[in-house]
Amino acid sequence: MADKREAEGRDDGLVILRDTVKTYNGRNVLHNISLKVRQGECIALIGKNGSGKSTLLRLLAGLSRPASGTRTVPGGSLRIGYVPERFPPIVFTPWEFLSSTAAVRGLDKHAAEEELNVLLRQLDMEHAMHVKMNQFSKGMLQKINLIQAIAGKPDLLLLDEPLSGLDVKAQENLLHVLLAQKRSGTAIVMSVHESKLIERAADRVLLIQEGRIVKESREERWQPGAVAEVSARIPGPEALAEIAAHPGVADCTPDSDVYLLQVEEGSIDQVLRIILDRGGSVLSVIPAEGIDARMGERLQAAAR
Ligand SMILES: Nc1ncnc2c1ncn2[C@@H]1O[C@H](COP(=O)(O)OP(=O)(O)OP(=O)(O)O)[C@@H](O)[C@H]1O
């Protein structure tokens, strides 16, 4: 699809790096990197420590300037959410910090507060929203780091090791949040070490070695958050609303007296449980085919 748009000259991308070189203390740490990030795609950057992933994210964010080459934003402006690798334990509460960053970004106060409440709930941080962040653990700080970037539905999310410090449940919750962002058109570029996130979210994986993109994988069958089709009877509008709003449900279409749900692989158990708990019945589950999970593992092995 993206290639067809490109052939027709309609695909300018959100942000484009051309032959960019980044230098620190006279040493090239990125060499002639060219990369186009398109709307709604998710790119995973993998590679050893020190290979240049964070530097590349900072260049894409426009936080650092290349020594040579160009960074262009064809649309003129871009709303960017950036999650740095480390987030300082500041003395504000999450609510004070997040509502003021939303105000600085010019987000509508009421809509921003509603969205922040949802994100705090999704990442299980509601209980700590009025606690000063200098008392937070690494994982708690990371969740606030993520929420500040995601709030306001940016065009481009740049995530530096987003799963860092998160427990298993928080990782799963974050994955759902990211897939929902992606479905709404947000592009994501993330540096990752965990194959789970790559397999379930990434459309492209770039292997970085010593400041160069040395390998790129792209596989049509390797769909983001590959979906399974669930056919179910759902009793009543309340149950329907709850199921349709589940972050793992990509689509919910009526088909005579049943509903066809497109459900992310990782959410199937949860969604089926909700349907049954609400008195509904499941008629069939057709699994997604051909997630090439081994591709992520192969590239991870190459990165080591
Ligand atoms: N501010 C800086 N000053 C000098 N050198 C830097 C600076 N930032 C990064 N570097 C160097 O640039 C290279 C790439 O670093 P970068 O942080 O981008 O790697 P990375 O792939 O993100 O590593 P990690 O997986 O450990 O986060 C490294 O050699 C690093 O030492």
For the record, the structure tokens of 61 come out as 């964010």
The reply to whether 250 and 132 lie within a common domain is no
What is the pLDDT averaged over residues 163-184? Answer: 88
The CATH number for 264's domain is 3.30.70.100
Q: Please tell me the residue having the least CA distance from ligand 1 atom 18.
A: 52
Distance from the CA of 49 to the center of ligand 1, in angstroms? Answer: 8
Is the pLDDT at 295 greater than 60? The verdict is no
The reply to whether 165 and 32 lie within a common domain is yes
The reply to whether 148 and 165 lie within a common domain is yes
Number of domains in the chain: 2
Does the beta carbon of 52 sit less than 6 angstroms from any atom of ligand 1? yes
Residue 110 lies in a domain: yes
Does the beta carbon of 50 sit less than 6 angstroms from any atom of ligand 1? yes
209-223 pLDDT tens trace:
999 998 888 644 344
What pLDDT is recorded for position 288? 63
**Contacts of 247-252 spanning 24+ positions with Cβ under 8 A:** 247/122, 247/176, 247/177, 247/179, 247/180, 248/176, 248/179, 250/183, 250/225, 251/227
Range from 103-112, 213-222, 284-293 carrying the lowest mean pLDDT: 284-293
What pLDDT is recorded for position 39? 92
55 or 172, which is more confident? 55
The reply to whether 33 and 159 lie within a common domain is yes
Atom of ligand 1 nearest to the CA of 208: 21
Q: Please tell me the residue having the least CA distance from ligand 1 atom 1.
A: 24
Is the pLDDT at 294 greater than 50? The verdict is no
Which 8-state DSSP code applies to residue 189?
E
| Angle, in degrees to the nearest 10, between helices 237-244 and 268-277 | 170
Q: Which strands form 42-46's sheet, in the order they lie side by side?
A: 80-83, 156-160, 187-191, 42-46, 204-209, 212-218
What pLDDT is recorded for position 290? 37
165 dihedral zone (left: phi>0; alpha: psi -120 to 50; beta): left
What pLDDT is recorded for position 303? 55
Query: Of the residues 54, 83, 207, which should be mutated to test ligand 1's pocket, given the most ligand atoms within 8 Å of the CB?
Result: 54
96 or 183, which is more confident? 96
Q: Please tell me the residue having the least CA distance from ligand 1 atom 7.
A: 24
Does the beta carbon of 184 sit less than 6 angstroms from any atom of ligand 1? no
Is the pLDDT at 297 greater than 90? The verdict is no
Residue 81 lies in a domain: yes
Does the beta carbon of 49 sit less than 6 angstroms from any atom of ligand 1? yes
The CATH number for 213's domain is 3.40.50.300
Residue 87 lies in a domain: yes
Secondary structure (DSSP) of 233-264:
E--SHHHHHHHHTSTTEEEEEEETTEEEEEEE
Quick check: ipTM above 0.90? yes
What is the pLDDT averaged over residues 34-46? Answer: 94
Does the beta carbon of 63 sit less than 6 angstroms from any atom of ligand 1? no
Query: Of the residues 20, 21, 23, 24, which should be mutated to test ligand 1's pocket, given the most ligand atoms within 8 Å of the CB?
Result: 24
What is the pLDDT averaged over residues 81-87? Answer: 89
Is the pLDDT at 72 greater than 70? The verdict is yes
The reply to whether 125 and 271 lie within a common domain is no
What pLDDT is recorded for position 198? 83
The reply to whether 18 and 150 lie within a common domain is yes
Structural domain for 77, as ranges: 2-222
Residue 302 lies in a domain: no
Distance from the CA of 52 to the center of ligand 1, in angstroms? Answer: 6
235-288 pLDDT tens trace:
888 888 888 878 778 778 787 778 988 888 778 888 999 999 999 999 988 876
The reply to whether 93 and 134 lie within a common domain is yes
Residue 202 lies in a domain: yes
233 or 229, which is more confident? 233
124-163 pLDDT tens trace:
999 999 999 999 999 999 999 999 999 988 999 999 999 9
Average pLDDT of every residue of the chain = 85
